[in-house]
Chains A and B, each alone.
Chain A
């Protein structure tokens, strides 16, 4: 499960910035096209945070919708996966959002 190693690198990235300070909340943004499941990160977070100043921190994950724009007909539509196909039949689709995999901010005591 790659979410475990991604969650571990999340914890490391936070600790790099916050050191010994107690972290009370972690804010992430994970899009549906990122290849990472927000639920799996939630599941892994407590394990990865245990024994660190992040233990017990509130994890908030913003999950933006996937949006694409067709370069052929200029139509914009929701994307639920990486099969980039416009209803008009064109596969020339630009991903506008949904690939985010970001550590946005943390709150420290």
Chain B
């Protein structure tokens, strides 16, 4: 296993190229630690910050580090990489079937050339969603996580390497369908978008508080089905507010198109924001044409 990036931990992760062909397993990738100036890096692993000696021939080594420290460090690296290129990355998360792929396909189709965007698709096994995205003509990379139920920062790193997004472009990341652990693994994304569909019940925020706490934008999808199901949009919003006071909130239907203008407006606004975890200060990157005009 590579101790710098930690890849190879979850054997079975495979990453496609732009043509959709699966590449060798992730642990097999060549790992140069050589930068663009030809310098080769070696990894120092400093020894115990402070340690004392315990009884009976054993020694206690004090570590006091977060269990997610390695992922968080890689996420910070991704965030810097994205910010340096002015690339925005949106991490789209939901339960299976809430409409992530449908919304992405429709967005890419409707915005067409107005939004220079690519997609990184996370799925446990198939490449069906990547095929749906590829049909729109936009570049897509498939990451199959195998038994893994979430994307982590190292997988995004490899996905970005394979996608090679243009400076100033947008990357949508469709995370593995799961409202539990994707909340814990920071990818270094610009914003976290959480989708809940009206067929799932308006108590989802209570059941999955970590996910809703982490969200920058919550989308209630399948609004076309509201007349047929017992889903109270206001109650859902109130529950999200109890957990997260800053998230934005949109209701839409990815199939009928109702409410999509507000989503395009959000993308337009988020376009001028840097890839920072909390900071939402505007940055002066002009958008060529307003995305909202698309609708």
Chain A residues near B (Cβ < 8 Å)? 1-2, 5-6, 8-10, 12-14, 16-18, 24-25, 28, 35-36, 81-85, 91, 101-109
Whether A17 and B1, one on each chain, are in contact in the complex, defined by CB atoms closer than 8 angstroms, is no
Q: A35-B184, A83-B243, A101-B68 are in contact. Are A1 and B61 (CB under 8 A)?
A: no
Which 6 pairs between the two chains have the least Cβ-Cβ distance? A2-B181, A82-B209, A35-B210, A107-B58, A105-B62, A101-B67
Residue B35, interface by CB 8 Å: no
Whether A104 and B62, one on each chain, are in contact in the complex, defined by CB atoms closer than 8 angstroms, is yes
- Count B-side interface residues using an 8 Å CB cutoff: 41
Instruction: Add 6 more A-B contacts to A5-B10, A106-B63, A108-B61 (CB < 8 A).
Output: A2-B180, A16-B3, A82-B213, A82-B243, A102-B67, A103-B64
Chain B residues near A (Cβ < 8 Å)? 1, 3, 6, 9-10, 45, 47-48, 54, 57-71, 148-150, 152, 180-181, 183-185, 206, 209-210, 213, 241-243, 245
Write 19 A-B pairs (CB below 8 A) sorted by A numbering: A2-B181, A2-B185, A5-B148, A6-B68, A8-B10, A9-B6, A9-B67, A9-B68, A13-B63, A35-B181, A36-B184, A82-B210, A91-B242, A103-B65, A104-B63, A104-B64, A105-B64, A109-B57, A109-B58
Whether A85 and B63, one on each chain, are in contact in the complex, defined by CB atoms closer than 8 angstroms, is no
Least Cβ–Cβ distance between A95 and chain B, in angstroms: 10
C-alpha gap A83/B242 in the complex (Å) = 7
Q: A82-B210, A83-B206 are in contact. Are A28 and B1 (CB under 8 A)?
A: no
C-alpha gap A105/B58 in the complex (Å) = 12
Q: A18-B61, A105-B64, A108-B61 are in contact. Are A12 and B184 (CB under 8 A)?
A: no
Q: Which residue on chain A has the smallest CB distance to residue B239? A: A83
Question: Which residues from B are CB-within-8-Å of A18?
Answer: 61
Whether B63 and A12, one on each chain, are in contact in the complex, defined by CB atoms closer than 8 angstroms, is no
C-alpha gap A91/B185 in the complex (Å) = 26
C-alpha gap A24/B67 in the complex (Å) = 19
Question: Which residues from A are CB-within-8-Å of B54?
Answer: 107
Whether A102 and B210, one on each chain, are in contact in the complex, defined by CB atoms closer than 8 angstroms, is no
C-alpha gap A91/B184 in the complex (Å) = 23
Instruction: Identify which of A6, A8, A36, A85 contacts B242 (C-beta below 8 A).
Output: A85
Whether B213 and A9, one on each chain, are in contact in the complex, defined by CB atoms closer than 8 angstroms, is no
The CB with the most chain A CB atoms within 10 A, among B1, B9, B245, is that of B9
Whether B9 and A28, one on each chain, are in contact in the complex, defined by CB atoms closer than 8 angstroms, is no
Instruction: Identify which of B9, B69, B71, B209 contacts A81 (C-beta below 8 A).
Output: B209
Whether A2 and B58, one on each chain, are in contact in the complex, defined by CB atoms closer than 8 angstroms, is no
Question: Which residues from B are CB-within-8-Å of A13?
Answer: 63, 65, 67, 69-70
The CB with the most chain B CB atoms within 10 A, among A2, A16, A107, is that of A2
C-alpha gap A58/B180 in the complex (Å) = 28
Q: A101-B66, A109-B57 are in contact. Are A16 and B45 (CB under 8 A)?
A: yes
